[in-house]
Every structure is written in structure tokens, then in C-alpha cells.
Chains A and B, each alone.
Chain A
């Protein structure tokens, strides 16, 4: 990848791509500043803007596809014009960002529509749609920015929107805490991204994609690895990857559409986007790629294991998200062989995970916002549409043949094995094991929610959700079923992305693809069977059993991720804070107060000379005069 990267200037219809960001931003401003009189129109306006954005996005992408150079850059304004540091606010529409704007506006639009029903009775729905539009604007800016600085603006924008939406019901302490946790853990990652941008500027003198990625070949190995690891830190924070995964499950305190849009389909995949976007840097550093792949593999297993032990339906899905993004990291960590596959999984995951979350929201909607699966059961007949769409999402997620997940996940597992050597076997094995565990925890979820006997609370009257909610679920279910097939066989995503990632190298198969597929299917079958054995054929207790094996309690405790953070980071941090406060109080303040007391004291002492007697004054002046005369004489004759 040593060819120069050049983007054509946007002309014609594409010179208005800034509208994509501007429209939802404007709408967010109107909704958030507009006051109560907009309460009624908020859902219509918020959803309509994203729908318009989707239409625009389709139009732009079609226009782009007709062009010979499928990467156009639009200079919007000069952002930081300082001598030696020229940062332009500009947008870049290329095959990679095209994929993302379709995903964001498409899935985003459906989830907005769903929210119209889901948030129908919430008094704060104007604020909700305002935040949601703000998120869409920031996310589009993130993927459309043509420099790392503009990307960073969007990056922080989605972080803010995520914070606001997790804490949407801010009167609940759990939601407020979760929002803070998400924000702070994201900051840890953001620091990595920020330092990476500084390093880029220091070594390459620019933060524009064209300069940084085009000039990446000039980087020394050490710098490239450092950049790769710093960008990975940023990606881990935003995407909830090990070791910064703990915030994502807690983020489920936000309203369910938020979980679907931000914490499943779009924002949390920004890390994958970042690594894919910076692929020229990762191509330079084998070490950097290996770390990405390891992080992905570790995270996917953590996610699977934690997902197996949860009883909260949204937490299971959240850990599943953590795990699936682990797959994507694993894929992009494999280098040129995996970028396109990773993005493919990102897209298919965007469909079926959004569908699953909306399904979970629909279940909760019908069950008085109950999230504990132990109080579900036998809902298949009561909520037929939800059940059908959820099942399709479930099948897509576990990789049932010819559904979306089957295409994307199998390709990742295959590519992991194809890496070759011990690392290939380890990564491939982890991915394979993950597929089996995924089948287990998702089947467990299905069984506990839709089958078995009803374990509902008193007064629960499960009912199907209104059409405005089920319609998006149905659309997403179609995506779950067909997206993989279409993107592999009908409209090849791989060749569409070729201008960005280059042609993938000819695979040197370690294991024949058909064998991999069979192995996956076998493991999935084992997972399903295990779930049936442990959950399906037994009575599900309405309260979680207390005496459980060490493995289960570890999984329930998220593999002690929080405990680790607390003991390794939080406690030392608190000690450091206390020590600094002590030094500040006693040392710094002491010095300042001491000096102040000294000056004040000397002021009082000096002031005694001002005794009001004119004779004293005259004497003082005489003394002063003698001093001046003596000083002048000393200067002259001394």
C-alpha cells in the first residue's frame, strides 16, 4: 500500500454532502432549544430529518458509484488555520464512508421510527429525539470527516450523545452512574486517539487522511506501531473492547432504542471504522495488527462467557454486542485479508443486533418494562410478530446457514485460521469456540423468553407492540435474513471496498472453507443442544440460584472486569487524589497562605510608621533625602 492517496474534489451533487451532517444537527438544535411547544412535533421532525438524510445518503452513494474516482473530498471551512498547523474542516465520501452513512441513516431511521412508538408516553420525548438527532449528526461527521481532527470532533460528539442518552432517565441513580462510567471509560480511550493525532502531526505535519494515510509509508516501524496501538486504545474505548469493555453492558440503562442504535448498531462500531480507516498504518506493523486481533479474540470470549450467565435480556444482548465487535476487531486485526470481512460483519451485525434489541424492547414494552428473563416465558404465542422477527435475528446471529451472520462470521473464522501458524490456530480456535458459546447463550435467551411456562409477574398482560414499532422490526428482520447473501453474492461489498483496502490477498487455506463451515455448524448445534439441556428441559427458577459454580459466579461478575478496574485503577486513583489534595491543602495552600500572612503582617508593621504626626513624616523624608544624596554620591564616587 505505497500508492499515494488522492481524493477528487467534490463537484456537482456531491458538493452538498455537508447537508447530511447539517440537517440532523439543525434539527437537534431546534428540538433542544425549541421548548415545550415542540413536544408534539418532536417525533415527526426527528424521524423525518433522518428519513430525509437516508434518501440523501442513497442519492449520494448512487452518484458516487457512477464516478470513476470513488473518493471525493469536500472542503467546508478552515478549522484551525495556524502557521504550521492547518486543519481544514472537510468531508470525505468514499466507499467506506458510503457504507457507514447508509447504515447510520438507514438503521438510524428505522430506530427513530420505532422510538415514536416506544417513547410515546415519555414526557421527555422532545429531548430524546433532540439527543438522537445530535447523535446521528455526530456519527455522520465521524465517518465523513476527511481528517483525524474532524473525525475526533465527531468521535467526541457521539461520546456526548451517548452520555446524554444513557442518562436520559437521569433521575435513576443507576442510569446516571452508567452514563458517568461510559463517559469516563471512553475518555481513557479518547486520550489514546488524541495522542495518536498529536503524533501524526509531529511526524507527518498533518492530520488529513490524504497526508497521513498517503504518507504512512514514510513512518518508521516504531512510530507506526505506536500509532497503531494508540488508535487501538481509542477504538477499544469507543467499541467496548478489552480492557475497556465494562461500560457497554451498563449502558443498557438507557432507553432500548438507544441501546439498539448507539450501543449495538452504530457508535460502538466506530472503533472498527477507525482501524479500517487507518488500515495503511496497520498494514505497516505486524505487531500492531496482532495486538488488535488478540484484543478482538479475548473480548469475543469474555463477551460470550459473560453473556451466558446474565438474566437481564438487554445485558445478554449487550455482552453479545461486545463479543460480536470482538469478531470485527479480530477480522480487521488480520490485515488486508480481514478488513472487508470485518466491515461485512459490522453491517450484518448492525441489522440483526438492532433487530434483536428492538425485539427486546418490544418484549419489555409488553411486560411493563420488566427486563429479567426469569420472569418471562411462553411469550411466543402472545407476541407473534416480535417472536418471528426475534427468531430471525437470533438465527442470523448464531450463524444459521444462509442467513446474514452465517456469511460474515464464517468468513472471519476462516480468515483467522488462514492467518497460519500457531497464532492462526489460536485465533481461529477462539473464534470457533465463540460461535458455539454464542449459540448457547442466545438459545438460552430464546428459551427463557419465548418458551417454557409463563413466569410473569402479577398484573402482567403481555401484548404485541403497535405497528410503528413492529414495522421497523420486520424491515430489520429482512436485513438479518438477506443482507449477508446480498452483500456477498449479489452486490459484492469486497469489491466495492477495494479502492479503500486494496484487493485482498489470495487466501492460502489452512483448513478448507467447507470444513470450517461444518465445524462451526457442529459447534453451534452443540451450543443449542447444551442450552436445551441446561435451560429448555428444566424448570426456570423465578429468582436466580445463589449457590452456583465458580465459573458461573465469575461470568455473572463479568469475569471480574469491574473488580479489576476498581482495584487497579480506581483505588490507586483515589489514593493519588487524596495525596494530591493533601499536598495542595498543606503544601501549596500553606505556602500561599504563608506568603500572604507574611505580606499582611509586614503591611501592618510598616503601617505603624504612618502615625499621623507630621514631624515623623518630615523626619522620614529627611532620611529619604539623605539616602538619595548618599546613593547618588555612592554611584558617582563609589
Chain B
């Protein structure tokens, strides 16, 4: 007879808030009249993430394993849940942007209508908006939170699917350039399914080795048995592949540019910021809790992977001409920087990685929010040549984007510098000197393509029929303001948040 496990609702409240919002959103989609639906859905989604934020603040410091040790409530889980809630809040603000100045809603009203048909053309000019995005985003966010908090490989796999499926859908919902968007969604889905299989296979092999899917149990088993190590090692490798795919780490990065470019920009912001946080949260937990004592096996591999990621991300970004693709490669390079801290396998590695995730997420959402603003007749003007001389037309937007680019490049007095500093220090202290050197060289290369955009905006003549800069609606303005303020604040006075990350850097179990 199976006993029902005890559930700590308090400890799970952040996740429950977001999942609750998602479920209520589904009901609202069914029962609320169309005229009110947008406002109601937005309120529900925002209520979910705000509730999660508040409950994270209230239960900070709590440590327990609940639902039969399947889900952890501890410092890293709560810090990352808080980070995800904050980034999710900004993403939802961007998803909700539908001011006519910005072409109305960014989402197609009926995703199933084939692109290019008469109905599709009719919908493109129609005012109808899509509100399923809110519950979808809430589901994805809830999955992400669970992904980072799962103390059990099976729960982690379920969370992986819960976070992935809504994202596959969201990626295909673009109202303009629908074929590109649908292609992105399909690619993301195919490759995501492919790597999910890897993850699941790895899980099975580990179970075969350890007889348990509990991370602590795996840790204990790895400590000393005489079973064949081959199962263990191959299983670990496959788990890593599945996790690195979600984090957009080379050589599992190939989906990133295509999907980031094709998906609606607000969805790209959600993916780039939140998925990265969740994926690295899971990587940290799996490697530190489950395989912390066998780090001599995985550290050299991640070491090499990090170098490849740094090179691929920063070098490939050099020749990009599309701002969204450039930011995609930038996010790959950033995954490499994060790995520099992650491989430390100690408290400093944990806290620096979490801090970096927060700074990177905020800056990235801000960057994509700016990309949403620069538009021409066909929607967003994402080709870099169209950004020439932007500062002359719109100094404020150019200035804010420059701030984000400088932060991504890791220039002092921005959050990017602080983040890079802490992960590099963690890597250096853990003996990864050569990797840190590569990372520094990569950031030098990366600085080129960030600064090139700034040069383009400030020192080039504007194109004759260049894009206009839309006046952002209130929601986008709020998101941009929060992202910009945090980027500066975490660069100038990062002490409090660094302390918070340090205090939170202790896994339970």
C-alpha cells in the first residue's frame, strides 16, 4: 500500500502560486467573456508571479525536503524561484504589450490558421488578441521553478516537460513572420524532444546503477560500491546533455539562434532569461547534490564544454547581422561564463552562478524589450543596419540599449561586471585558471560586437527610411525601467544581493 506523502504547502507556495495562476488562467480562458479576457488573464498571471515573489520573501531561510524528498525547499531553490518570479514578472509585462504604436499584440489570434491564407491575412489586420499566452507562460514559469527545485530526477524530468511544452507553443505564436515563427517552434520541439530522450535515458541508467532517482541517494551510492561504473558514467553524461541543451551550451546550442530569432520577441525574452535560470538551477542541483562527490568525472568535461561554448558564442556572434541572433549567440557565450563559476563545485561556485543568472536575466529581458521598440512597417526592425544612427532619432532608447550592451559586455559599474567578476573569481579559486583566461579573452572578443552596435547607433548616419522607435506602453516602460535600474544598481552597489546569494548558497539534503 502506498502512503500519500506529506506536502509542505508553505514551502511549495511559490510554485503553487504560479501553477495556480496557470490553472485559473485556463478556466478564465473558457469562461470569461472575450471582452474582459485580456485584463483578467493579465491580472491572474501577474498575481501568480507576484504571489510567488511575496511568498519567497516570506519563507526565505526555510530548509526542507517535501513530498517524499522529491522537491527541495532550500536557499538555492528559493533564490532561483525568486529570480524566476521576478524575471517572469518582467516577461509577462512584455507579453502583455499591445499598444497600437507597437503593432498591437505580438501574438497571432489563431495559431492554427496556415500562414499566407486569406484568413491569415484577415487576422493580421484584426484587433482580436490572443490571451492563451498568459496561462502558457505561467505553466512554463511554474515548470521552471519546479525544475530548479526538484530533488528527484523523475520530478525533474516532469518539470522539464512542463516548462518545455508551453515554450514550444509560445515560440510559434508570432503574428508577423509567421512561417519563421512556426519553423522555430518546430525546430525547438524536435530538438527538445530529442534531448529529453537523452535525459530520460540517462535517468534510467543512473537508476540502474544507484537503484534510486533521489539525488542524495545517488550521492550515497556513488560514494562506495563495487558496481560497474560504466552505467553511472554514461548515465551522468546523458543527464548532462539533456540539461546543457536547455541551458543553450555548445555543442547543444544550435537551436538557440533560430528559435530566438523566430519566436515573438517577448517570448524570446522569457526563454533567454528564465529558461537559462531554470536550466542552470537544475544543473547546479544535479551536479552538486547528486554528483558532488564524483566531480572528478564531470569537471574536466564541463571544463572543455565551457571553452567550446565561450568560443562558439563569442566568435559566431561577431558576424551576425540580426540583433536577435546576435543576442542569441551572446546568450550562448554567457552560458560559457556561467559554467566558469559552476564547475567550482563549492559554495562560491553556487552563489556566483546564482548571482550571474539574476544579473544576466534582468539585462537580457531589458535588451529584448528594446528590440521590441525599434520597428518599421513590417514589425520589428531587427537587422543591424536598420539601427544605424538610432541615437540621433531616439537618444533615450539608444542610451538604455547601450547600457544593456555594456552590461552584457561586462563593463564596470554595470551588473554584468559584478557577475563576471564573481564567477571568474569562483573559477579561479577552484583552480580553473586557464578556463578563466579563455573566458576573459572571450569577453574581449564579445566586447567587440556589443560595442559595434553602440558605435552603429551613435556614430553612423541614420538610414533614410530607417525604423521608427515606438513609444512603449506603460507595461513595457515599467519592465524596461526595472531592468535598467537593476542593471545599474547591481553594478554600483551589488553588496546586498551578493550577500543574499551567499547566504542562500546551501543545498538541503
Q: Which A positions have Cβ atoms within 8 angstroms of B? A: 596, 599-600, 602-604, 606-607, 609-610, 612, 614, 616-618, 620-621, 623-625, 627-629, 631-633, 635-637
CB < 8 Å neighbour of A620 from B241, B251, B304, B445: B251
Q: Within the assembled complex, what's the spacing in Å between the Cα atoms of A624 and B319?
A: 24
Q: Which residues from A are CB-within-8-Å of B230?
A: 633
In the assembled complex, B316 has its CB within 8 A of some CB on chain A = yes
In the assembled complex, B365 has its CB within 8 A of some CB on chain A = no
The answer to whether residues A629 and B187 also contact, given A603-B318, A612-B258, A635-B297 and a CB cut-off of 8 A, is no
Annotate B218-245 by CB proximity to A: 1 below 8 A, 0 otherwise.
Answer: 0000000000011001101110110001
CB < 8 Å neighbour of B240 from A606, A616, A628, A635: A628
Contact A631 B187 (CB under 8 A): no
Which of B51-59, B104-112, B191-199, B501-509 contacts the other chain? Answer: B191-199
Q: Which residues from B are CB-within-8-Å of A599?
A: 315, 318, 445
The answer to whether residues A629 and B237 also contact, given A607-B316, A617-B255, A621-B254 and a CB cut-off of 8 A, is yes
Q: Within the assembled complex, what's the spacing in Å between the Cα atoms of A635 and B305?
A: 14
Q: Within the assembled complex, what's the spacing in Å between the Cα atoms of A602 and B315?
A: 7
Q: Which residues from B are CB-within-8-Å of A624?
A: 241, 250-252
14 more CB-based (< 8 A) A-B contacts, given A628-B241, A631-B301, A633-B234: A600-B318, A610-B257, A614-B186, A620-B254, A621-B254, A624-B251, A629-B238, A631-B300, A632-B236, A632-B237, A635-B297, A636-B229, A636-B233, A636-B297
Q: Within the assembled complex, what's the spacing in Å between the Cα atoms of A621 and B195?
A: 8
Q: Which residues from A are CB-within-8-Å of B319?
A: 600, 603-604, 607
Q: Within the assembled complex, what's the spacing in Å between the Cα atoms of A624 and B316?
A: 18
The answer to whether residues A628 and B186 also contact, given A610-B257, A635-B297, A635-B300 and a CB cut-off of 8 A, is no
The answer to whether residues A623 and B315 also contact, given A617-B187, A633-B234, A636-B297 and a CB cut-off of 8 A, is no
Q: Which residues from B are CB-within-8-Å of A612?
A: 258
How far is the CB of A199 from the nearest CB of chain B, in Å?
Answer: 34
Contact B234 A629 (CB under 8 A): yes
How far is the CB of B441 from the nearest CB of chain A, in Å?
Answer: 10
Q: Within the assembled complex, what's the spacing in Å between the Cα atoms of A336 and B435?
A: 66
CB < 8 Å neighbour of B254 from A610, A625, A627: A610
Interface residues of B in 177-197 (CB under 8 A from A): 186-187, 190-191, 194-195
Q: List 21 A-B contacts (CB under 8 A).
A: A599-B315, A602-B315, A603-B315, A603-B318, A606-B312, A610-B254, A617-B191, A618-B194, A620-B254, A621-B251, A621-B254, A624-B241, A625-B241, A627-B251, A628-B237, A629-B233, A629-B237, A631-B301, A632-B234, A633-B230, A635-B297
- A623's nearest neighbour on chain B, judged by CB, is B251
Q: Which residues from A are CB-within-8-Å of B195?
A: 621
How far is the CB of A356 from the nearest CB of chain B, in Å?
Answer: 56
In the assembled complex, B36 has its CB within 8 A of some CB on chain A = no
In the assembled complex, B31 has its CB within 8 A of some CB on chain A = no
Q: Which residues from A are CB-within-8-Å of B257?
A: 610
In the complex, the 3 A-B pairs of residues with the closest C-beta atoms, listed nearest first: A624-B251, A617-B254, A629-B237
In the assembled complex, B298 has its CB within 8 A of some CB on chain A = yes
- B315's nearest neighbour on chain A, judged by CB, is A603
Q: Within the assembled complex, what's the spacing in Å between the Cα atoms of A616 and B254?
A: 9
CB < 8 Å neighbour of A635 from B234, B245, B251, B296: B296
Q: Which residues from A are CB-within-8-Å of B194?
A: 618, 621
- A595's nearest neighbour on chain B, judged by CB, is B445
Annotate B254-288 by CB proximity to A: 1 below 8 A, 0 otherwise.
Answer: 11011000000000000000000000000000000
CB < 8 Å neighbour of B245 from A600, A604, A621, A636: A621
Q: Which residues from B are CB-within-8-Å of A633?
A: 230, 233-234, 237
Query: For B237, B250, B317, which residue has the most chain A Cβ atoms within 10 angstroms?
Result: B237
Q: Which residues from A are CB-within-8-Å of B250?
A: 624
Annotate B306-324 by CB proximity to A: 1 below 8 A, 0 otherwise.
Answer: 0000001001111100000
How far is the CB of A36 from the nearest CB of chain B, in Å?
Answer: 32
Q: Within the assembled complex, what's the spacing in Å between the Cα atoms of A627 and B312?
A: 16
Is chain B's binding surface mostly helix, strand, loop or mixed?
helix
How far is the CB of A225 from the nearest CB of chain B, in Å?
Answer: 45
Q: Within the assembled complex, what's the spacing in Å between the Cα atoms of A632 and B119?
A: 53
Q: Within the assembled complex, what's the spacing in Å between the Cα atoms of A625 and B317?
A: 24
Contact B300 A606 (CB under 8 A): no
Q: Within the assembled complex, what's the spacing in Å between the Cα atoms of A606 and B257?
A: 14
The answer to whether residues A632 and B316 also contact, given A610-B257, A625-B241 and a CB cut-off of 8 A, is no
Q: Within the assembled complex, what's the spacing in Å between the Cα atoms of A219 and B445?
A: 51
Q: Which residues from B are CB-within-8-Å of A620?
A: 251, 254
Contact B315 A606 (CB under 8 A): yes
- A629's nearest neighbour on chain B, judged by CB, is B237
- B229's nearest neighbour on chain A, judged by CB, is A636
How far is the CB of A633 from the nearest CB of chain B, in Å?
Answer: 6
Q: Within the assembled complex, what's the spacing in Å between the Cα atoms of A604 and B318?
A: 9
Q: Within the assembled complex, what's the spacing in Å between the Cα atoms of A628 and B250?
A: 11
Contact A625 B191 (CB under 8 A): no
Q: Within the assembled complex, what's the spacing in Å between the Cα atoms of A610 and B257?
A: 9
Annotate B437-469 by CB proximity to A: 1 below 8 A, 0 otherwise.
Answer: 000000001001000000000000000000000
Q: Within the assembled complex, what's the spacing in Å between the Cα atoms of A563 and B361?
A: 66
The answer to whether residues A635 and B315 also contact, given A617-B191, A627-B251 and a CB cut-off of 8 A, is no
Q: Which residues from B are CB-within-8-Å of A606?
A: 312, 315-316
How far is the CB of A619 from the nearest CB of chain B, in Å?
Answer: 10
Contact A632 B254 (CB under 8 A): no
Q: Which residues from A are CB-within-8-Å of B315?
A: 599, 602-603, 606
Contact A632 B301 (CB under 8 A): yes
Q: Within the assembled complex, what's the spacing in Å between the Cα atoms of A637 and B237?
A: 14
Q: Within the assembled complex, what's the spacing in Å between the Cα atoms of A243 and B238?
A: 78
- A613's nearest neighbour on chain B, judged by CB, is B187
The answer to whether residues A632 and B298 also contact, given A618-B191, A625-B198 and a CB cut-off of 8 A, is yes
Q: Which residues from A are CB-within-8-Å of B238?
A: 625, 629
Q: Within the assembled complex, what's the spacing in Å between the Cα atoms of A37 and B319?
A: 57
- B230's nearest neighbour on chain A, judged by CB, is A633
CB < 8 Å neighbour of B187 from A614, A635, A637: A614
Q: Which residues from B are CB-within-8-Å of A627?
A: 251
Q: Within the assembled complex, what's the spacing in Å between the Cα atoms of A596 and B297?
A: 36
Q: Which residues from B are CB-within-8-Å of A625?
A: 198, 237-238, 241, 252
Q: Which residues from B are CB-within-8-Å of A632?
A: 233-234, 236-237, 240, 297-298, 301
- B449's nearest neighbour on chain A, judged by CB, is A603
Contact A631 B304 (CB under 8 A): yes
Q: Which residues from A are CB-within-8-Å of B258?
A: 610, 612
Contact B251 A614 (CB under 8 A): no
Q: Which residues from A are CB-within-8-Å of B186?
A: 614
How far is the CB of B495 from the nearest CB of chain A, in Å?
Answer: 23
How far is the CB of B109 from the nearest CB of chain A, in Å?
Answer: 27
- A602's nearest neighbour on chain B, judged by CB, is B315
Q: Within the assembled complex, what's the spacing in Å between the Cα atoms of A635 and B233?
A: 9
How far is the CB of A418 from the nearest CB of chain B, in Å?
Answer: 64
How far is the CB of B100 from the nearest CB of chain A, in Å?
Answer: 33
Query: For B195, B250, B251, which residue has the most chain A Cβ atoms within 10 angstroms?
Result: B251
Q: Which residues from A are CB-within-8-Å of B252?
A: 621, 624-625
Q: Within the assembled complex, what's the spacing in Å between the Cα atoms of A606 and B245?
A: 19
The answer to whether residues A628 and B305 also contact, given A610-B257, A621-B245, A636-B229 and a CB cut-off of 8 A, is yes
How far is the CB of A443 from the nearest CB of chain B, in Å?
Answer: 65
Q: Which residues from A are CB-within-8-Å of B233?
A: 629, 632-633, 636-637
Q: Which residues from A are CB-within-8-Å of B245?
A: 621
How far is the CB of A635 from the nearest CB of chain B, in Å?
Answer: 5
Q: Within the assembled complex, what's the spacing in Å between the Cα atoms of A625 and B242?
A: 9
How far is the CB of B172 from the nearest CB of chain A, in Å?
Answer: 14
Contact A610 B187 (CB under 8 A): no
Contact A628 B301 (CB under 8 A): yes
Q: Which residues from B are CB-within-8-Å of A637?
A: 229, 233
Q: Which residues from A are CB-within-8-Å of B198?
A: 625
Annotate B412-424 by CB proximity to A: 1 below 8 A, 0 otherwise.
Answer: 0000000000000
How far is the CB of B397 from the nearest CB of chain A, in Å?
Answer: 28
